[in-house]
């Protein structure tokens, strides 16, 4: 079974506090974009993962398969092959999308017919972003990722994604933010504007990690390309801008490529994992 696992961008990301166990609490708007990994899953004697990135037990896709079999009690295995289209360690949720794709595929292959709540429970046991990646689209995410509120689809817009620099330690970035004055929240204003005028909402995008992971030169480059707004995705190093049409998004990506930056142009999509065959 072939599943396309779509990337996500954070249109907003606020850090609202911490749980007693140390996990940070978020208030964020996630958006799926048509940048994807191709995840092929077949029945196997054991669990194996081949990926042009991270193989075997170190890949979150292995964890997803393991958690699926533990939760369902099904005896079986999975041969998983991942062809990466989402850059590794970029803040675009590639690993989480792969894990969600594995859960969806195994549910279909083994005909377990799990309900949404069960799928999300398995997903959350793999990682905070995995539940969203099961279904994707546009959603407000709270808690550590388990609180998902679907929002109306945002159709017709494009994202230009630029990978700027190397992945920094998310843990260290959280530690830096914990020592700083609270960053101005973005999500509330964004959603208020979104309810009235989608175009103006993008000017209110923002990410708390921008204070410690943002690249002002990349943001300026995107803004100068006529973007409706620009921000950081996750904890970086992916930066992105939203455009009203494909032509503008592709032109911005080509402009970034000329400066030696890895860039992509992709439309918003209103789904998460998509079973292809």
Is residue 177 a contact partner of residue 162, using CB atoms and an 8 Å limit? no
Using an 8 Å Cβ cutoff, are 269 and 275 in contact?
Answer: no
Alpha carbon separation from 36 to 18, 51, 57, 103, 234 (Å, rounded): 31, 14, 22, 16, 16
pLDDT in tens, 168-210: 888 888 888 888 888 899 999 999 999 999 999 999 999 999 9
Question: Which of 3.40.50.11720, 3.80.10.10, 3.30.70.890, 3.60.20.10 is the CATH number of 158-267?
Answer: 3.30.70.890
Q: Is pLDDT of 274 > 90?
A: no
pLDDT at 214 over 80: no
Q: Residue 257 belongs to what H/E stretch?
A: helix 246-258
Closest-CA residue to 163 (of 89, 223, 226): 89
Domain 2-151 classified CATH 3.10.100.10? no
Going from N- to C-terminal start, the domains of the chain cover 2-151, 158-267
Instruction: Give the mean pLDDT of the chain.
Output: 94
Question: Residue 194 has what pLDDT?
Answer: 96
Catalytically annotated residues: 8, 129
Run of H or E residues at 193: helix 187-194
Structure tokens at 19: 């749980």
Q: Tens of pLDDT along 54-75?
A: 899 999 999 999 999 999 999 9
């Amino acid at each position: 079974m072939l599943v396309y696992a779509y990337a996500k961008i954070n249109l907003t990301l606020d850090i609202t506090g911490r749980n007693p166990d140390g996990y940070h609490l978020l208030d964020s708007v996630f958006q799926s974009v048509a940048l994807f990994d191709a995840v092929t899953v077949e029945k196997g004697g054991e669990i194996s993962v081949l990926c042009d990135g991270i193989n075997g037990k170190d890949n979150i896709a292995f964890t997803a398969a393991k958690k699926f079999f533990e939760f369902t009690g099904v005896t079986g295995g999975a041969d998983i092959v991942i062809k990466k289209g989402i850059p590794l360690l970029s803040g675009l949720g590639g690993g989480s999308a792969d894990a969600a794709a594995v859960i969806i595929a195994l549910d279909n292959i083994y005909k377990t017919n799990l309900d949404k709540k069960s799928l999300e429970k398995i997903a959350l046991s793999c990682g905070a972003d995995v539940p969203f990646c099961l279904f994707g689209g546009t959603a407000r995410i709270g808690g550590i990722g388990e609180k998902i509120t679907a929002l109306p689809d945002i159709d017709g817009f494009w994202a230009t994604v630029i990978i700027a620099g190397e992945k920094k330690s998310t843990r260290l970035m959280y530690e830096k933010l914990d020592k700083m004055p609270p960053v101005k929240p973005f999500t509330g204003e964004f959603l208020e504007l979104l309810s009235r005028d989608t175009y103006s909402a993008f000017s209110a995008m923002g990410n708390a990690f921008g204070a410690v992971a943002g690249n002002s030169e990349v943001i300026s480059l995107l803004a100068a390309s006529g973007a409706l707004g620009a921000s950081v995705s996750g904890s970086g190093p992916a930066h992105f801008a939203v455009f009203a049409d494909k032509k503008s998004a592709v032109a911005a990506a080509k402009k970034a490529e000329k400066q030696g930056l890895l860039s992509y142009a992709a439309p918003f999509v209103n789904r998460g994992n998509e079973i292809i065959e």
